[in-house]
Chain A
Amino acid sequence: MAGKKRILAIASGGGHFVQLLRLRPAWAGHDVAYATVHADMEAEVAPARLLTFRDVSRADWWRLPLTLWDIATILIRVRPQVIVTTGALPPLLALALAKPFGVRTLWVDSIANSEVLSGSGGHAGKVASQVVTQWPHLAQPGVDCWGSVL
């Protein structure tokens, strides 16, 4: 297709990545690479590429350098023009690292955050081009609601 873009679709494991997979029609026809923590998701996204990173959360913050290294490597390999993520902390690092390079980035806060935005989602406004919540009652200035994965 004309104007094909390089997309990085990235999310942590578990429900974050399951939500990302439900958004696939959004980038159909573009040149997409996926990134998550479990390599066995490769079969789910084939023929697209799957790259993996080592996970980190606030509970095991000391793993941060490993994750940062993996995320930086993924960004160099994919050279995305657009990044879309459904969370959590490692993709937030990807958005922060990509920001100086003018990459368009979309943070879709997890549907699991139904009463307040996620911890990472609260910070995403500082680094993402656009932040969206999946719950209409959580929409606020700077955080739109475009719909939900369910």
Chain B
Amino acid sequence: MNGVFVSVGSMMPFDRLVQAMDEWAAAHPQVPVEIQIGRGSYEPRHAKWLRLMPVADYRARVEGARLFVAHAGMGSIIAAIEAGKPLLMLPRLQAMGEHNTDHQLATAVNVGNRPGLHVAGDVDDLKARASALLADTGTPPAPIARFADPAFTDRIRAFIEA
């Protein structure tokens, strides 16, 4: 698609992100924007959207996009890193009813500091960063292996076989 792919995960709605990227799409009609809105109630008026796609299609969208925008969820972050695709994320906030804790703020700080991962503070920052990253995507995330470090999985194997 060579545009922007947006995902808020499958578990909980995140209308603040969906609406912000729909507004961004309205301001950038030349850029294809597709949003997977999950359980949200805001239905985009400018961007292409759908509720939830099969995981194989989702992965293809992340790989094909110029920029991937998502909540600060580990599914999205791992998908971006595995695809070597820049990720712009907006953490869900407990105070706005977007998640049951503020752990996505911690994820943004502790995991989002990798190259190629970008964190927006609010919706205005999100829109500005989306425009900037589309002009210059910068360093993509370093590619990683498909599986966790063997030192970790070997310890789990030892637990299983004990």
Interface residues of A (CB under 8 A from B): 3, 5, 7, 12-19, 22-27, 30, 38, 40-41, 43-44, 55, 57-59, 82, 84, 104, 106, 108, 110-115, 118-119, 130, 135, 146-150
Q: Which residues of A are found within 8 Å of B160, using beta-carbon distances?
A: 5, 7, 26-27, 30, 82, 84, 104, 106
Give the interface size class of chain B. Answer: 35 or more
Q: Which residues of A are found within 8 Å of B153, using beta-carbon distances?
A: 23-26
Find A58's partner among B100, B110, B156 (CB 8 Å cutoff). B100
Q: Which residues of A are found within 8 Å of B152, using beta-carbon distances?
A: 23, 26, 146-149
Q: Which residues of A are found within 8 Å of B12, using beta-carbon distances?
A: 59
Q: Which residues of A are found within 8 Å of B109, using beta-carbon distances?
A: 114
Nearest-neighbour CB distance to chain A for B91, whole angstroms, equals 11
Pairwise interchain contact A106-B56, C-beta atoms closer than 8 A: no
Find A19's partner among B55, B78, B107 (CB 8 Å cutoff). B78
Besides A43-B55, A112-B106, A114-B107, 15 other CB < 8 A contacts?
Answer: A15-B76, A15-B78, A18-B79, A22-B78, A22-B147, A23-B148, A23-B153, A24-B147, A30-B160, A84-B156, A111-B74, A112-B73, A115-B103, A146-B151, A147-B149
Interface residues of B (CB under 8 A from A): 9-12, 54-56, 73-79, 81, 100-101, 103-104, 106-107, 109-111, 144, 146-157, 159-162
Q: Which residues of B are found within 8 Å of A148, using beta-carbon distances?
A: 148-149, 152
Pairwise interchain contact B156-A57, C-beta atoms closer than 8 A: no
> Complex Cα distance A55/B154, Å?
30
Nearest-neighbour CB distance to chain A for B58, whole angstroms, equals 10
Interface centre among B73, B100, B103, B104, by most chain A C-beta atoms within 10 angstroms, is B103
Pairwise interchain contact B73-A146, C-beta atoms closer than 8 A: no
5 smallest CB-CB distances across A and B, nearest first, come from A147-B152, A15-B74, A26-B156, A15-B75, A114-B110
Pairwise interchain contact B74-A146, C-beta atoms closer than 8 A: no
> Complex Cα distance A116/B101, Å?
11
Find B74's partner among A19, A27, A38, A147 (CB 8 Å cutoff). A19
> Complex Cα distance A43/B156, Å?
24
Pairwise interchain contact B156-A104, C-beta atoms closer than 8 A: no
Interface centre among B74, B78, B150, by most chain A C-beta atoms within 10 angstroms, is B74
Find A13's partner among B10, B107, B110, B151 (CB 8 Å cutoff). B10
